[in-house]
Amino acid sequence: MTDSEAGPPRGGDRVAGERFASRSTVWGAHGAAATAHPLASLIAIDLLRAGGSAVDAAIGANAALGFLEPIACGIGGDAFAMVWDPRTGALAGLNGSGRSPQSLSLATQRERARGGLIRPVGAVSVSTPGAVDAWWALHQRYGRLPWADLFAPAIALADEGVPVAQTVAHYLAASLRGFSRPGRGIEEVANVQAIWAPAGATPAEGELFANPALARTYGQIADGGREAFYEGPIAEVIDAYFRRIGGWLGRADLAAHRAEWVQPRSTSYHGVDVWALPPNSQGLTTLQMLNILDCFDLKAAGFQTAASLHLQIEAKRLAFEDRARRFADPDFADIPVDWLISKAYAAERAALIRPDAILEPVFAGEAPGQGDTTYLCVADGEGMMVSLIQSNFRGMGSGLCPDGLGFMFQNRGELFSLRDGDANLYAPGKRPFQTIIPGFASRAGEPWLAFGVMGGDMQPQGQAQMIVNLVDHGLGLQAAGDSPRWRHEGSSEPTGVAFAGRGRVHLESGVPDSARAGLAALGWTFGPTDGGFGGYQAIQRWPGRYAAASEMRKDGCALAY
């Protein structure tokens, strides 16, 4: 995009639609699915056609992604979801995050820490996996098909094998290199290699790959339900594995785990109600960013202009300081949610932003008295819409694979703080701060949008950009995701890492030269265009039909019928 191409969205390279759009939005009257892999999207559509609910289809797709996209998700990780229930006309939220092991103390974490932070690999980073129980809770409330039917497609794929997608091949190789660095236990690397590099190397793009061990594990879950994982034979293997390698997660931690139904919170933005899950998720960060931006006229500021991007970046910096200071497990911390997402507080924060200068320093407000992730959404013919996100966190996970089960444990526990006084301070039996956030929006009390932008700290930044693109600039669903993105790094973190200074702004190559020059003139410094701009999926409800879109930057696919 050149200087002359800046300004309002318009046609150009395509016969119709925005010039930067990679493809058209997908439309269907009976149902839709958008996931990070074409086969997972196809499975979701097949389950809908078989009479399944949107929840059934989402679980089936997520199970398939645990095999197809192991660099991002799997049954060793956690899950969050929001579900629009047409029977009640309301949005339900599910927090499927697991807690830290009861036998792992703060003192032990500090003894084994590196640079004052919890190590990103190994048993100290492992918290109880919540995904399977989250699927079970969703199915118990909203499922229509038999539980076992949801796993049959994933079992078949894992048994037979599929060609590996480009992005997955890239990150599998990078993950294995990371896990093979000096200082890792041989058992950990050996189990990783046995699953994903049995011949000595991870599969290349297009190479057939199978995971029969995961297929067998899925078969046990299909036959035995959640109990097979948390109290039955899988739990026994997990318990024995951590006793063998000297870890802490045990059968008692698994047996005690339960997902929690929570009330989503919302804020209004130019006629749209945007919803998020409360902490320990970072979902409120999206709402805070939008509340601050609601104080400005981004439509008048222009599409992809320096003025607009500057306001968005500053809103991010302000919201992320609150995120670093206050977001934690609400069972362990008193979080002033109502105040954080209030319009009055947003107005105070917005008043700090100057259009002609960068705010320094950035600080959290005074209350009165940061991975790899998969996101998917599904909608069915009855009007149910599911927004689901599931993750092993950073770098594929902890590097720990239980013997013979075909999956890796998450390293979500890395996100605890070890600094006294922090809301997110590590404690046994506590849920860590979570980056994964499903998104949802409604209009006039009716469902409008299930969406997500996976990718660690990019998630609230990306979600806010999607809402701005759709609401302020009137982009179509696919074009909103294809539009060039920005990402700011260099904010304080819930791990206890404090940051002083302006940080760095990363701009995709499609951002206009004039916008880049304008930001530079304000004093922003730039990081590389590094591909870390998230992965978008979305389904939009229209009268009698759905629109669906998927991320052009990755391997995803949107389908509708």
Q: What is the pLDDT of residue 4?
A: 40
Q: 433: which DSSP letter? A: P
> Can you list the positions of beta strands (E) in 383-445?
385-393, 439-443
Token readout for 281 is 């998720």
333 burial (CB, 10 Å; 0-12 / 13-18 / 19+) is middle
Share of the chain above pLDDT 90, in %: 88
The residue assigned the tokens 């009268």 is 543
Give me the residues paired with residue 385 across strands: 84, 379
Helices marked H in 353-488: 458-467, 477-482
Q: What is the pLDDT of residue 123?
A: 96
Q: What is the pLDDT tens value at each position of the chain, 561 positions in all? A: 444 444 556 656 788 888 899 999 999 999 999 999 999 999 999 999 999 999 999 999 999 999 999 999 999 999 999 999 999 999 999 999 999 999 999 999 999 999 999 999 999 999 999 999 999 999 999 999 999 999 999 999 999 999 999 999 999 999 998 888 776 655 678 999 999 999 899 999 999 999 999 999 999 999 999 999 999 999 999 999 999 999 999 999 999 999 999 999 999 999 999 999 999 999 999 999 999 999 999 999 999 999 999 999 999 999 999 999 999 999 999 999 999 999 999 999 999 999 999 998 777 765 554 457 899 999 999 999 999 999 999 889 999 999 999 999 999 999 999 999 999 999 999 999 999 999 999 999 999 999 999 988 999 999 999 999 999 999 999 999 999 999 999 998 999 888 878 999 999 999 999 999 999 999 999 999 888 999 999 999 999 999 999 999 999 999 999
The span from the CA of 119 to the CA of 185, in Å, is 14
Q: What is the pLDDT of residue 53?
A: 98
Helix (H) or strand (E) holding 366: none
Q: What is the pLDDT of residue 193?
A: 94
Q: What is the pLDDT of residue 11?
A: 57
Q: Which of 25, 267, 373, 435 is catalytic?
A: 373
The span from the CA of 55 to the CA of 138, in Å, is 7
Token readout for 234 is 């899988």
- Are residues 558 and 33 in contact, defined by beta-carbon separation less than 8 angstroms? yes
- Are residues 524 and 313 in contact, defined by beta-carbon separation less than 8 angstroms? yes
Contacts of 334 (CB under 8 A, 6+ apart): none
Q: Is the dihedral of CA 135, 139, 145, 148 positive or negative?
A: positive
pTM of the model: 0.95
Q: Is 286 a catalytic residue?
A: no
Residue 285 Cα to chain centre, angstroms: 13
